[in-house]
Amino acid sequence: MKPMSSPMEVSHHHPHEDADRGMSEAISGQPQLASLSIPVADEKVLVSVEVCLKPSSTAQPDDIRTAVERMLEKRSMTYVDGPIPVPTDDLFLLENVKRILICDTDEWVENHKVLLFWQVKPVVHVYQLSEEGPGEEPSGDDMLASFNEWILPAKEFDGLWPSLIYETGLKQRLLRYAATALLFTERGVDPCLVSWNRIVLLHGPPGTGKTSLCKALAQKLSIRFKSRYPLCQLVEVNAHSLFSKWFSESGKLVAKLFQKIQEMVEEENNLVFVLIDEVESLAAARQAALSGSEPSDSIRVVNALLTQMDRLKSWPNVIILTTSNITTAIDIAFVDRADIKAYVGPPTLEARYEILRSCLEELLRAGIVSYPPQVCVGALLLSYSALKETLHTSQMDESDGPFDHSSLLLDAAKACEGLSGRGLRKLPFLAHAALKDPYNCDSNKFLLMLIETAVRELSESKT
Ligand SMILES: Nc1ncnc2c1ncn2[C@@H]1O[C@H](COP(=O)(O)OP(=O)(O)O)[C@@H](O)[C@H]1O
Ligand SMILES: [Mg+2]
C-alpha cells in the first residue's frame, strides 16, 4: 500500500537507502544534482554529457558510458554546449551512438570563461529515445481526448529543450529546482525539518512556450535520472478539455486518470511527470459554478482534481507540472500548491534574435534560402552576444558580409517586438509563402520579407 500522506511518513520512504544503484554517484562520487555545472571540492566543474543511442543499439548503457568516459579522457578539448563528433576510430561507439551532447556549460561561457578539459569532470548520461508515440486514452465515444501519455525520453521531444530560448536562466533554474527536489527525496531529507514539494507552475501569456517547456523539462530530467529511474512517464492532462461539453463525464475521467497515475507511481523505479495544462480553466469552471451559471458538477471535478494532486504529491517519484495562460486571478488553490512559480514572458530582443537565427540557419541548411553573394556558403550567423560585441567595438569594416547578414537579422528581431515565441517560429513560413520568387531567395531578401511579414502580423493582431 501507499504510504500515508503525512509528512512524517514520507520521510520513511527512502527508496534508495538499500539500493546499490547510485545514479551518477557511481561515476562521479557526487550527487546527481552536481551534474549541473557547479564546482566540486577539487575545483573541477561537473558537466553533463548526454549520449543518445541509436534506435538499433542493444549495447549496455554502462558499457557505453565507460567508453565515452575513456574517450573524453583522451581528448584535450574545451567544453562548450553542443554536439561533439563520435570518434571515427571507435567502432563500438560508432555502431551504437547517435549523438554526444555537452550540456550546461553556458553559464561559464557567458562569463567568458573557457572550460578546459582538465577543469571538467564529465558526467555521462546514456539514453535511448522511445519511439512510441503518445498513448492516448480513448475517453468515450466522440469525446475530446483528455489526456496523453508518453514514455520518456521520447523521440517527439528530442531537441525541444535547446529550441526554447530564454535568456534569463529560466531553464537552468527549473532544472536545478527539479534536480534538488529529486535529490532531497532520494536522500530521505525529512520534510518536517526542511519542506519542499514537487509542484511547478509556469504562467504567462499564450505562446511563450510554457507547455513545451514542461515537456522539455520532463524529457531532460528523464535523461539525467535514467540510472535511478529506468522508467519515466509523462501524463498530460488538458484541463480545458475536462470542461468541454461532456463535463458531466469529467468526474469519472479524473478518477480513472488518477487511478492510472497511482498505479504508475506505486512502482518506486518509475518517475512520473503529470502535466496539468491550462489550469486557469479549472479556476474558471469553479467560478462559473459558484455564480450558478454552470451546474455544480464542475466544482466537484475541480475539487477532485485538487484532492488527487494533494494525494499524489506525497509520493517521492512524482513531479507535477502546471501551466496557466493568465497571470492574474489564477485559482488561489493552485498558486498555493506550487512551490516554484515562474513567469514566462514574451521573448526579449536577444531571445527574438536567437529564435530567428535558429530558424534562418535551418532554412539555409535545408537549402530553402540561399547565402547572399557576399557571404560564403556555410558561414554561420553571429550569436547575439558576438554581434553586440562587434557593434560595440565597431571593428568590422562596412562591407563585412557575415556582419551585414547578422545585423539585418537584428533588424528583423527588432521589428518583431510584440510577437510571442510561437508567432516568431511561424513567421519564416509565412514570409516564405509571401515571396514572389520562392525558388530563388537569398537570406537578405528573405529577411526583408520577414520584416514586412512581422509588421503585417503585428498590425493584424492589433485590430
Ligand atoms: N521562448 C521561446 N523560444 C523558442 N521557441 C518558443 C518560445 N516560446 C514559444 N516558442 C515556440 O512556440 C511553440 C508553442 O509554445 P507553447 O509551449 O504551446 O506555448 P504556451 O504553452 O505558452 O502557449 C513552441 O513549441 C515553440 O516552438
Ligand atoms: Mg500551452
Q: Which ligand is nearest to the CA of 236?
A: 2
Same domain, 187 and 327: yes
What is the edge-to-edge ordering of all strands in the sheet holding 97-103? 82-84, 97-103, 45-53, 120-128
Same domain, 161 and 234: yes
Residue in the structure block whose three cell numbers are 528530442: 158
Same domain, 210 and 233: yes
Which amino acid, 420? Answer: S
- Listing DSSP states for 23-79 in one string gives TTHHHHSS-GGGGTT-B-TTSPEEEEEEEEEPTT----HHHHHHHHHHHHHH---EE
User: How many A from CA of 324 to the centre of ligand 2?
Assistant: 8
Same domain, 335 and 366: no
pTM value is 0.86
Domain assignment present for residue 18? The answer is no
Cα torsion through 324, 180, 13, 323, rounded to 10? 10
| Surface-to-core class of residue 382, CB atoms within 10 Å of its CB (0-12 exposed, 13-18 middle, 19+ buried) | buried
Q: Which ligand is nearest to the CA of 157?
A: 1
Domain assignment present for residue 412? The answer is yes
Domain assignment of residue 81, given as a range: 31-127
Domain assignment present for residue 8? The answer is no
Query: For ligand 1, atom 16, which residue shows the shortest CA distance?
Result: 209
Mutate to test the pocket of ligand 1, among 217, 425, 426, 427 (most ligand atoms within 8 A of CB): 425
Domain boundary among 127, 143, 170: 127
Which amino acid, 341? Answer: K
Name 62's Cβ contacts closer than 8 Å, sequence gap at least 6. 126
Distance CA 447, CA 438 (A): 13
Tell me 39's DSSP state. B
Same domain, 338 and 393: no
* Angle (nearest 5°) at CA 49 between 44 and 51: 160
Domain boundary among 100, 127, 154: 127
Pairing of strands 97-103, 82-84: antiparallel
User: How many A from CA of 269 to the centre of ligand 2?
Assistant: 29
Q: What is the pLDDT along the chain (463 residues), one digit of tens a residue?
A: 434 333 333 333 333 333 333 333 333 334 444 445 555 556 788 899 999 999 999 999 999 999 999 999 988 888 888 899 999 999 999 999 999 999 988 766 666 677 888 889 999 999 999 987 777 655 444 344 678 899 999 999 999 999 999 977 899 999 998 888 888 888 888 888 888 878 899 999 999 999 999 999 999 999 999 988 999 999 998 777 777 655 567 777 788 888 889 999 999 999 999 999 988 887 777 777 777 766 667 777 778 888 888 888 788 899 999 999 876 656 556 667 787 888 999 999 999 999 999 999 999 999 999 998 888 887 889 999 889 988 887 655 555 566 778 999 999 999 999 999 999 999 999 999 999 998 889 999 999 999 999 999 999 987 6
Domain assignment present for residue 68? The answer is yes
Which amino acid, 257? Answer: L
Q: Which ligand is nearest to the CA of 205?
A: 1
Q: What is the CATH number of the domain that holds 200?
A: 3.40.50.300
Residue in the structure block whose three cell numbers are 579522457: 73
Distance CA 127, CA 92 (A): 16
Domain assignment present for residue 23? The answer is no
Distance CA 201, CA 337 (A): 9
Q: What are the φ and ψ backbone dihedral angles of 329, each rounded to 5 degrees?
A: 55, 35
Q: Which ligand is nearest to the CA of 216?
A: 1
Which amino acid, 30? Answer: Q
Distance CA 449, CA 427 (A): 10
Q: Which helix (H) or strand (E) holds 401?
A: helix 401-415
Same domain, 56 and 184: no
Decide if 151 contacts 264 (C-beta within 8 A): no
Q: Please tell me the total count of domains within the chain.
A: 3
Domain assignment present for residue 6? The answer is no
User: How many A from CA of 422 to the centre of ligand 1?
Assistant: 5
Query: For ligand 1, atom 4, which residue shows the shortest CA distance?
Result: 164
Query: For ligand 1, atom 13, which residue shows the shortest CA distance?
Result: 422
Domain boundary among 283, 312, 343: 343
Q: Which atom of ligand 1 lies at the shortest distance from residue 163's CA?
A: 4
User: How many A from CA of 404 to the centre of ligand 2?
Assistant: 36
Q: Which atom of ligand 1 lies at the shortest distance from residue 423's CA?
A: 12
Query: For ligand 1, atom 11, which residue shows the shortest CA distance?
Result: 422
User: How many A from CA of 211 to the centre of ligand 1?
Assistant: 7
Residue in the structure block whose three cell numbers are 561515476: 27
Q: Which atom of ligand 1 lies at the shortest distance from residue 213's CA?
A: 17
Same domain, 144 and 198: yes
Among candidates 215, 216, 214, which has minimal Cα distance to 203? 214
Tell me 342's DSSP state. E
Among candidates 148, 149, 151, 160, which has minimal Cα distance to 129? 151
Same domain, 233 and 186: yes
Q: Which helix (H) or strand (E) holds 87?
A: none
Q: Which atom of ligand 1 lies at the shortest distance from residue 165's CA?
A: 3
User: How many A from CA of 162 to the centre of ligand 1?
Assistant: 12
pLDDT at 44: 85
Same domain, 203 and 80: no
Contact residues of ligand 1, CB 6 A cut-off: 163-166, 206-212, 323, 347, 351, 355, 421-422, 425
| Surface-to-core class of residue 453, CB atoms within 10 Å of its CB (0-12 exposed, 13-18 middle, 19+ buried) | buried
Same domain, 104 and 154: no
User: How many A from CA of 212 to the centre of ligand 1?
Assistant: 6
User: How many A from CA of 54 to the centre of ligand 1?
Assistant: 28
Q: Which ligand is nearest to the CA of 212?
A: 1
Which amino acid, 363? Answer: L
Same domain, 262 and 408: no
Mutate to test the pocket of ligand 1, among 158, 212, 344, 416 (most ligand atoms within 8 A of CB): 212
Domain assignment present for residue 272? The answer is yes
Query: For ligand 1, atom 1, which residue shows the shortest CA distance?
Result: 165
pLDDT at 135: 72
Same domain, 164 and 79: no
